[in-house]
């Protein structure tokens, strides 16, 4: 029953986020601040992880394709498919659940502990709209970060494959181009938008409704990371069945 109550509280929170919006003059600065914190602040770790994921996928594929009958361009094909369909949208999102999710939960939770949220509500401000809506808008840019992840991952795969002596640049490029289906990129970005919503709202829920003191802020951040990751994995399965099944 506690899980059902939590789902109900989450639905009510989402409904309240879009009620009684804060003035645009104030909201604009909040959105720009969240874009800087959530998106630009995360590009470094996204690029770093994506580069080495692409490199590792290429090396592992090359080491397993030892049969001389199998064309080497399949290394590039496998790298492209792995990054676009799964690694960039899903794996990076789980990493972001740790970085972005913990930041969101701890920042809102700290405001709850220090009674800043109560002060906002006393002044007649919709605290959920003030705190959560800018994060949702900022996370709408998340697909651009995942597009960068895909590009950097493929670049990392090309560097690892070519300079590692596993295949030529022409073979890797041929693998990137063969049997390319644009719908798969659309599928990846649809997943990314759903994950962006989860990354913005689930940690916000755990931060906004947390109870206790400073110690509970850390516990709430851990809980938010776990549940954000679980929801991302479940939504990944559902979306894959709906869009690719």
Q: Minimum mean pLDDT among 122-126, 141-145, 171-175, 212-216: which range?
A: 212-216
Mean pLDDT within 153-166: 93
Mean pLDDT within 29-44: 91
Number of structural domains found in the chain: 1
Q: Which domain holds residue 158?
A: 22-244
- Does the pLDDT value for residue 28 go beyond 80? yes
**Joined tokens for residue 237:** 């399965």
Angle of helix 2-17 relative to helix 182-208, nearest 10 degrees? 100
- Does the pLDDT value for residue 68 go beyond 90? no
Quote the CA–CA distance of 59 and 183 in Å, as a whole number.
Answer: 27
**Joined tokens for residue 162:** 């070519």
Angle of helix 169-177 relative to helix 142-163, nearest 10 degrees? 140
Quote the CA–CA distance of 233 and 207 in Å, as a whole number.
Answer: 21
In a domain, 16, yes or no: no
pLDDT at 215 (0 to 100): 79
pLDDT at 132 (0 to 100): 92
Mean pLDDT within 161-178: 91
In a domain, 29, yes or no: yes
pLDDT at 242 (0 to 100): 93
In a domain, 137, yes or no: yes
pLDDT at 212 (0 to 100): 78
- 213: pLDDT confidence band, cut at 50, 70 and 90? confident
Phi, psi of 164 (to 5 degrees): -85, -5
Quote the CA–CA distance of 108 and 125 in Å, as a whole number.
Answer: 15
In a domain, 37, yes or no: yes
In a domain, 217, yes or no: yes
**Joined tokens for residue 146:** 């995942």
The residues, ordered by sequence, that sit 6+ positions from 221 with a Cβ below 8 Å of its Cβ are: 101, 102, 105, 106, 109, 203, 206
In a domain, 227, yes or no: yes
Cα distances from 216 to residues 154, 221, 222, 234, in angstroms, run 41, 8, 10, 27
Mean pLDDT within 182-187: 93
Question: Is the Cα torsion angle 224, 225, 230, 233 positive or negative in sign?
Answer: positive
pLDDT at 1 (0 to 100): 52
Residue with tokens 């295949």: 167
- 45: pLDDT confidence band, cut at 50, 70 and 90? very high
In a domain, 12, yes or no: no
- Does the pLDDT value for residue 59 go beyond 60? yes
Query: Taking Cα atoms as reference points, which of 148, 188, 155, 145 lies closest to residue 54?
Result: 155
In a domain, 1, yes or no: no
**Joined tokens for residue 181:** 């289906």
Please provide the average confidence, as pLDDT, over all residues in the chain: 91
**Joined tokens for residue 17:** 């986020």
Express each pLDDT in 98-152 by its tens digit: 999 989 999 999 988 888 888 988 888 888 999 999 999 999 999 999 999 999 9
Mean pLDDT within 46-61: 94
Quote the DSSP letter at residue 114.
T
């Amino acid at each position: 029953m506690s899980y059902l109550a939590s789902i109900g509280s989450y639905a009510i929170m989402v409904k309240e986020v879009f009620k009684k919006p804060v003035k645009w003059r104030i909201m604009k600065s909040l959105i720009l601040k969240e874009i800087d914190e959530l998106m630009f602040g995360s590009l470094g770790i996204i690029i770093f992880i994506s580069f080495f994921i692409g490199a590792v996928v290429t090396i592992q594929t090359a080491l397993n394709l030892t049969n001389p009958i199998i064309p080497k361009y399949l290394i590039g094909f496998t790298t492209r498919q792995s990054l676009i369909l799964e690694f960039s949208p899903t794996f990076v999102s789980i990493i972001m659940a740790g970085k972005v999710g913990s930041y969101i939960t701890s920042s809102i939770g700290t405001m709850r502990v220090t009674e800043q949220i109560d002060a906002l509500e006393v002044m007649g401000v919709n605290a959920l709209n003030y705190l959560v809506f800018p994060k949702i808008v900022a996370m709408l840019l998340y697909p651009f970060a995942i597009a960068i992840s895909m590009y950097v991952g493929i670049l990392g795969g090309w560097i690892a494959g070519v300079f590692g002596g596993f295949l030529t640049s022409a073979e890797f490029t041929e693998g990137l181009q063969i049997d390319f289906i644009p719908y798969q990129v659309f599928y990846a970005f649809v997943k990314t938008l759903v994950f962006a919503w989860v990354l913005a709202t689930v940690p916000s829920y755990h931060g906004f409704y947390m109870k206790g003191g400073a110690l509970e802020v850390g516990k709430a951040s851990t809980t938010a990371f776990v549940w954000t990751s679980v929801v991302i994995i479940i939504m990944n399965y559902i979306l894959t069945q709906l869009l690719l099944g």
